[in-house]
């Protein structure tokens, strides 16, 4: 914070860890949804937790590529409404 102040960078106050203002949370949800649709039995991978982790490391980039670009575009376009809703709610959770 000292560095930001020394460099004349204004920091907006917002709720910490707000899912309203953190679009990556929505990406994680979509990624998990796609993972379960495409690999519904991945947790049953033979070989235990290490094998499951290895399999996940292999398939997650593939699954990520299947998320439509439109999903990300819609998420980006929703940000002004999200910011406005959080400001209107004075930092509280709200629907947009």
Q: How far apart are CA 25 and CA 72, in angstroms?
A: 12
Q: How far apart are CA 85 and CA 20, in angstroms?
A: 9
pLDDT score of 64 = 95
| pLDDT above 70 coverage of the chain, percent | 85
pTM equals 0.68
Q: How far apart are CA 94 and CA 42, in angstroms?
A: 35
pLDDT score of 96 = 46
Mean pLDDT for the stretch of residues 65-76 = 95
Q: Are 69 and 4 in contact (CB under 8 A)?
A: no
- The residue behind tokens 């949804």 is 33
Q: How far apart are CA 94 and CA 73, in angstroms?
A: 21
17-45 pLDDT, tens per residue? 666 778 888 899 999 999 999 999 999 99
Q: How far apart are CA 21 and CA 4, in angstroms?
A: 21
pLDDT score of 25 = 85
């Amino acid at each position: 914070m000292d560095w930001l102040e020394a460099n004349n960078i204004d920091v907006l106050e917002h709720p910490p860890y707000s899912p309203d203002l953190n679009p990556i949370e929505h990406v994680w949800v979509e990624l998990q949804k796609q993972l379960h649709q495409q690999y519904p039995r991945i947790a049953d991978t033979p070989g235990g937790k290490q094998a499951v982790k290895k399999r996940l490391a292999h398939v997650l980039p593939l699954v990520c590529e299947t998320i439509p670009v439109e999903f990300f575009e819609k998420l980006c376009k929703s940000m002004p409404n999200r910011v406005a809703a959080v400001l209107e709610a004075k930092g509280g959770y709200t629907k947009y």
